[in-house]
Amino acid sequence: MQLNITARHLDLTPALSDYIHRKVEKAQRYFDSIIWAQTILAVEKHRHIAEIVIHTPGSTFRTKGEAGDLYSAVDMAAHKIDLHLVRVKDKKRNHRNGKSSVRFQPVAVHDSDTPPSSGNVSEVARVVLEPLSLTRAIRDLNSQPKPFLLFINERTNQVSAVYKKGKEGIGLVEAVIP
């Protein structure tokens, strides 16, 4: 992978250059075929900005981190690009394998005594639960159209659900067995 570092309004030190190389090279964990990467560092008054651009065959990923010092800005941008690359890689892998973390299997319920309009259950969906971390569950929730996601919390080993609250909010329901 070819890495270009551009510094605007600052001097690029060897220590900063090595730090950026270590952070950006971690992106190769997610994509083996990275063609090139570019890091743009800038200082504007008291703002330190780090922008990372990674180009793979067919895609270009770009993130920007802004903080009080340059190392924190690089950390923020590298963290954002890692999250983005993980999301894209999981999406491609799940799409290729035809998998998702939760699979709904509708099962028809036949109750001949009462019609469905009387408030009785007319369909049951069985859900295959998988153990997930909370961050992975939130990532899976954001990548699916359903407003909720049921999973087994890896930390507590209990059934939990995350759900969408408004535009950007996320709620968590943890099942507690008395």
Alpha-carbon distance of 107 to 104, in angstroms, equals 9
| Upper half-sphere CA count for residue 37 (Cβ side, 13 Å) | 24
Find which of 60-64, 117-121, 127-131 is predicted with most confidence, using mean pLDDT: 60-64
**Residues 26-55: pLDDT tens digits?**
888 877 788 899 999 999 988 999 999 999
Query: Considering only 3-7, 119-123, 145-149, which range has the smallest mean pLDDT?
Result: 119-123
Residue 92's CATH number? 3.30.160.100
Q: Are residues 8 and 79 in the same domain?
A: yes
Averaged pLDDT for residues 112-128: 64
What is the pTM for the complete model shown? Answer: 0.54
Q: Are residues 9 and 92 in the same domain?
A: yes
- What range does the domain containing 28 cover? 2-97
Q: Are residues 163 and 84 in the same domain?
A: no
Asked if 142 and 119 count as a contact pair (C-beta separation under 8 A), the reply is: no
